[in-house]
Structure 1
């Protein structure tokens, strides 16, 4: 995929095409888009085109938010935003006859577009400004995403016919890293890997995970902006490919009570803009100074640069108030429970999968591979927002030279001495909404106010719902 396209080169690329598909990312990470005539598309390349703001005024099921959101509501008539085509996102969709495809970024006005000021609620805009913030200090974020997700032998219609109850898994039983189970639908398995490669979102790993119908995909490590786009596109691509194979992938965080949930782990490092050297690795053989507060666990800091320690500290300090971004649904918190391969505390550890943040550094890996894995997000995350908030918290830690606030965990018993992650979307949203929350400092009041309104809406729908559990428990015996 060529990244340095110009309007002229795009016009040449599209000479034989008659239509183009475009899409933007909503607050839940869902792609919202349409097909345009080529002439309409080309006419919009210099000044953008109107796109109804309602995609930021309704939820994942197109129900308008119960709380007024200034960017899009009945108060402003759900006015248009300006969508700017990102030429660098150009690719063709192999399972749709190679139709040209572009992502867009949203702005409140053409003037804002000219000034490079995205709408405060635009997820791709948040990535843009996070990347720019790192660039100001000479750094570039690098990210790799991993998704675990269930695959069912269902279609949207068949699942609705079952009232979304007990979908049939693509494969039976628990069989991680199986070479047998993909054969139950080899076409789907091969097409996901091959066509994602053709679509410009290459996978470096693709295998069954433990659980009936569970698969895991590791996307190739790349720059933060590209990683966010690739992760967002992967979810939709997998669903579209699955639909034509009789398979319904689900990125719900916890579809089953008694099985592990689905993670969306994110690996991070930063490198120098000019020399491309990994700044999480020490830049010389001389040991870097350790802060007084970190000396009790100094031996655990081997192979971690000062930049890495500040970045880690920023995430740990900001995690409590940013949880609602990393775990955005009511169901997210059903995954973050004991004994199911998910973190439950604000913690870090060296190559420790019990921790919220797993540090991978020499001597546990080559110097170039020094990184941290943020294990809190589930597959239901909006990758754009999750990556943006981690980068912003990390940069905040670097700028303020924050010190790692907690000792690393080395065993399960250490978890008892660490702070519990939020247990519900309401708890996480309330923390984010606090007047002086770190989320407000790193994301801005406008975004936080909008996002909080969307999560309160989600929680209220849950509170008003009568669930299957309640009916089974109470309908006869109370």
Structure 2
């Protein structure tokens, strides 16, 4: 859809307000509703948006010593442009027109720290190498019979799950909340997010959804929008939906696995498949896997961006802990699925539901392309059993601080994402860690207050 088509649509429908949003460094949508006149006036050159949105965290606290914004610069506006290709209407908000945006300019330049702009730069590299990247993300999340107010009143404790017990792949549980369950499926479809499958996972009130695959930019857009859509739809049913990686010590965490494949530009041939090769996987796929494995320890915060992310990455929790790969193995970091040419793909199992899809997909594609460019050998044997028991495998960093230090110290991240983005992103992760280490937790009070 071009400018004239959009303007005609708004005029014909007599629409006077438009909603647009972009993802911040944590993947949280920030945006506003604007008048049609302002929307039309900014179609060519964009809109000014305060750059503090890349200088504060998920709770609007300023990050420590980031260069891109701050008191030192006075928090000026930066150029934000709407992508007309993202046009859709919001079915649960009277079909208000909605667009996604990023911090880029008409001449092709962009703000280095904008997640969507970063992914677009990685896609350009992929295109220049002659590949079309096909991606999809799947999410697990917990649903609670709560509201934003009740969460605060309860101090985020004693929460009531949507359903009780451990009942993965249940037919009964969704039927007990069918209005919500089918609203998720149907309203997301109307919002141009096609859900491939929706079901319960093991745990009280847990759902899992896989989004149908698309070209990588559209896939990331839909993943970002899916998380926000689920929260908005859930709220209308008196439900809080949480994409936190691990909210309860005794329950499984929430994944955000990424499925990916490289195709010819015409999308006619899956380049990860080779019928004449062992296991029907191509040398290109092996190089792609080798690249992801090599880069993984140095870019882990792109997949595990919060302090809580690492509570999920523990043994026996259906999440990887090692630099490993295997065929249809759910204990490894990289799972190869190769049933046929159409469906041969790589599943990167490290990301949790708390990821920023733009950054997680950028990390997956950039590190895979790194392996192809450098013709890396896949010299790590495929895991055929339980990867948790393979003591010889390299262990992933165990917390956000260690992972961020590795990312800062290695030249890999700067090579993949650029120095400006890497510096900003790692500073935001250290800031997140600093907030955490200053906090006195309930666990500490229960353990030490009386006894120690």
Q: TM-score range by the shorter chain?
A: over 0.9
Deviation at 1:144, TM superposition (A): 1.3
Aligned with residue 350 of structure 2, among 370, 373, 376: 376
Query: Hey, what does 1:79 align to over in structure 2?
Result: 76
Aligned with residue 143 of structure 1, among 126, 135, 144: 135
Query: Hey, what does 1:59 align to over in structure 2?
Result: 57
**Where does 1:388-399 land on structure 2 (aligned, <5 Å)?**
388-399=362-373
Query: Hey, what does 2:85 align to over in structure 1?
Result: 88
Query: Hey, what does 1:294 align to over in structure 2?
Result: none
Q: Secondary structure at the match of 1:324?
A: helix
Structure 2 distance, partners of 1:426, 1:304, is 36
Query: Hey, what does 1:100 align to over in structure 2?
Result: 97
Q: Secondary structure at the match of 1:129?
A: helix
Structure 2 distance, partners of 1:89, 1:275, is 21
Structure 1 distance, partners of 2:34, 2:158, is 39
Aligned with residue 295 of structure 2, among 318, 321, 326: 318
Is 1:199 equivalent to 2:191 in the alignment?
yes
Structure 2 distance, partners of 1:120, 1:408, is 36
The Cα RMSD (Å) is 1.0
Q: Secondary structure at the match of 1:354?
A: coil
Q: Structure 1 stretches (4+) deviating beyond 4 angstroms? A: none
Aligned with residue 424 of structure 2, among 441, 450, 473: 450
**Per-residue Cα deviation, 1:238-294 (whole angstroms, up to 9, x for no partner):** 000011100100000000101110000000101111253111012xx544xxxxxxx
Further displaced range: 392-401 or 269-278 = 269-278
Is 1:356 equivalent to 2:333 in the alignment?
yes
Structure 2 distance, partners of 1:476, 1:242, is 41
Query: Hey, what does 2:447 align to over in structure 1?
Result: 473
Deviation at 1:307, TM superposition (A): 1.1
Is 1:401 equivalent to 2:375 in the alignment?
yes
Is 1:262 equivalent to 2:254 in the alignment?
yes
Aligned with residue 395 of structure 2, among 399, 402, 420: 420
Query: Hey, what does 2:28 align to over in structure 1?
Result: 30
Report if the CA contact (8 A) 2:132-2:267 is conserved.
Answer: no
Report if the CA contact (8 A) 1:317-1:405 is conserved.
Answer: no
Structure 2 distance, partners of 1:120, 1:186, is 43
Q: Secondary structure at the match of 1:319?
A: helix
**Where does 1:120-269 land on structure 2 (aligned, <5 Å)?**
120-269=112-261
Structure 1 distance, partners of 2:132, 2:122, is 10
Change (3 A) 1:286 1:189: closer
Query: Hey, what does 1:70 align to over in structure 2?
Result: 67
Structure 1 distance, partners of 2:82, 2:411, is 34
Report if the CA contact (8 A) 2:289-2:368 is conserved.
Answer: yes
Query: Hey, what does 1:291 align to over in structure 2?
Result: none
Structure 1 distance, partners of 2:390, 2:349, is 15
Q: Secondary structure at the match of 2:342?
A: helix
Change (3 A) 1:178 1:275: closer
Report if the CA contact (8 A) 1:92-1:99 is conserved.
Answer: yes
Deviation at 1:237, TM superposition (A): 0.3
In structure 1, stretches of 5+ residues that fail to align are 108-112, 288-300
Structure 2 distance, partners of 1:276, 1:10, is 31
**Per-residue Cα deviation, 1:288-345 (whole angstroms, up to 9, x for no partner):** xxxxxxxxxxxxx521111111111110000001101100000000001111111110
Aligned with residue 265 of structure 2, among 268, 273, 292: 273
Aligned with residue 366 of structure 1, among 323, 327, 340: 340
Structure 1 distance, partners of 2:213, 2:390, is 30
Q: Secondary structure at the match of 1:50?
A: strand
Report if the CA contact (8 A) 2:141-2:243 is conserved.
Answer: yes
Further displaced range: 411-420 or 189-198 = 411-420
Report if the CA contact (8 A) 2:2-2:84 is conserved.
Answer: yes
Is 1:10 equivalent to 2:37 in the alignment?
no
**Per-residue Cα deviation, 1:152-205 (whole angstroms, up to 9, x for no partner):** 000010110001112110000000111111133221111110000000011010
In structure 2, stretches of 5+ residues that fail to align are none
Q: Secondary structure at the match of 2:177?
A: helix
Structure 2 distance, partners of 1:153, 1:415, is 41
Report if the CA contact (8 A) 1:431-1:437 is conserved.
Answer: no
How many pairs align?
Answer: 449
Further displaced range: 98-107 or 271-280 = 271-280
